[in-house]
Amino acid sequence: MSNIFQQEENFGSGVYAKREIAIVQGNGTTVWDENGRAYLDCAAGIGVANVGHCHPQVVAAITAQASRLITCQEMFYNDQRAQFQAQLAAALPGSLNRVYLCNSGTEAVEAAVKFARLSTGRPGIVAAMRGFHGRTLGALSATHNKKYRQPFEPLVSQFSHVPFGNIDRLDAAITDQTAAVILEIVQGEGGVRLAAPGFFQRAQRLCQERGALLIIDEVQTGFGRTGKLFACEHYNLVPDLICLGKAMAGGVPMGAVGIGPRVQNLAPGLHGSTFGGNPLACAAGTAVLNIFQHTDLTSRAAKLGDQFRRQIEALNLPLVREVRGLGLMTGIELRQRAMPIVQSLMDKGIIALTAGNTVIRLLPPLTITVEELERVVVALAEILTTEQRSTAREQLPA
């Protein structure tokens, strides 16, 4: 066992399931392990390195900022924060023109839930089955999977769940005590699942009719992942609150909530975070927004993602039940467990994720090339064909 594994095993908390490689360097779509082996990173830090690992503009921004000012609490105004907030507000859909800055996706969800309760004076939050919103107690209460919830119960009260995409069940769940409905546009951890067209618009109409707010969690779908800067733009949807994280600062920890005009009662002292809006993350965030503004990363993601899914479908692999996704967010649902396939991909130098037991999830940097995606297609074809043959052999009578 390498020294790195040993130290993490000895001194880490134990709450993470580990894979046996130590990643020590990254550039663009590639990461390297401690022995210098290169991997094509189709996990991108779980949807973080959308602009690629160590993008030179992000590196330059944080290098310059690190020697000037790293921390500055929100008690004071700051040049980097001012610029980033203005640029992010301009990039957000429609009337989302204020931002709350924090340090992770779960904090963004936590803040959005608190803002919704504050704004409406109501306690209820309606979320979706299979939804994932983070692991702090509030966000965990909106998360659906029992595996994450049960060990920590009792969770926050007044949260309920309806089937994702089912407008009738949502209609029945929104009452005069509902502060907000929280939804992902594409359920990431829940298996890369999309809702039927029209669902989000109708959900928004219900919220507006009943005086509830609509929170869209774009922690995983944001910043170009789905082929638009924000996935709600696919549906011309402008929610009341949008939760952001992961890719927003090119790998530097950051989260945010975009806030629309229906959100009321946000007053000094009601919420906050020591590190929220720190100049280092803001400098990185501005660099990321500039990269998106001056490149075609989002339209590339849309085009390459569609091509990639068509190529996988065209293989007609018997072990593949369904290929789905939006932009460069792809789920390949198998007729067997996904983890052994993800392990075989890693043996071939490709890092991928699972989403539940049977879905392979691919979230590569949006800078991935056509050739690199073809490498993934070829590897999947080889692995799934071999796996199919050995399964068929096992099923033959002795």
Which positions lie near ligand PLP, rule CB under 6 A?
A: 46, 104-106, 109, 132-134, 184, 188-189, 217, 219-220, 245
The distance of closest approach from Cβ of residue 223 to ligand PLP in the complex, given in angstroms and rounded to an integer, is 13
The distance of closest approach from Cβ of residue 141 to ligand PLP in the complex, given in angstroms and rounded to an integer, is 13
**Could you tell me which residues come within 8 angstroms of residue 96 by beta carbon, excluding any fewer than 6 positions away?**
89, 238, 239, 242, 258, 259, 260
What is the C-alpha separation between 126 and 181, in angstroms, rounded?
A: 5
The distance of closest approach from Cβ of residue 275 to ligand PLP in the complex, given in angstroms and rounded to an integer, is 13
What is the C-alpha separation between 60 and 210, in angstroms, rounded?
A: 48
220 vs 298 by CB, closer to ligand PLP:
220
Helices (H), 29-174: 44-47, 56-66, 79-91, 105-120, 137-142, 146-149, 167-173
Say if CB 276 and CB 284 are below 8 A apart.
no
The distance of closest approach from Cβ of residue 232 to ligand PLP in the complex, given in angstroms and rounded to an integer, is 13
47 vs 260 by CB, closer to ligand PLP:
47
Position of minimal CB gap to ligand PLP: 105
29 vs 106 by CB, closer to ligand PLP:
106
The distance of closest approach from Cβ of residue 102 to ligand PLP in the complex, given in angstroms and rounded to an integer, is 10
What is the C-alpha separation between 244 and 223, in angstroms, rounded?
A: 9
219 vs 359 by CB, closer to ligand PLP:
219
Say if CB 192 and CB 324 are below 8 A apart.
yes
What is the C-alpha separation between 276 and 92, in angstroms, rounded?
A: 19
345 vs 363 by CB, closer to ligand PLP:
363
Give me the helix-helix angle, 56-66 and 279-294, nearest 10°. 150
243 vs 384 by CB, closer to ligand PLP:
243
The distance of closest approach from Cβ of residue 340 to ligand PLP in the complex, given in angstroms and rounded to an integer, is 23
Q: At 339, is the secondary structure helix, strand, or coil?
A: helix
The distance of closest approach from Cβ of residue 351 to ligand PLP in the complex, given in angstroms and rounded to an integer, is 16
Which helix (H) or strand (E) segment is 384 a member of?
helix 370-395
104 vs 344 by CB, closer to ligand PLP:
104
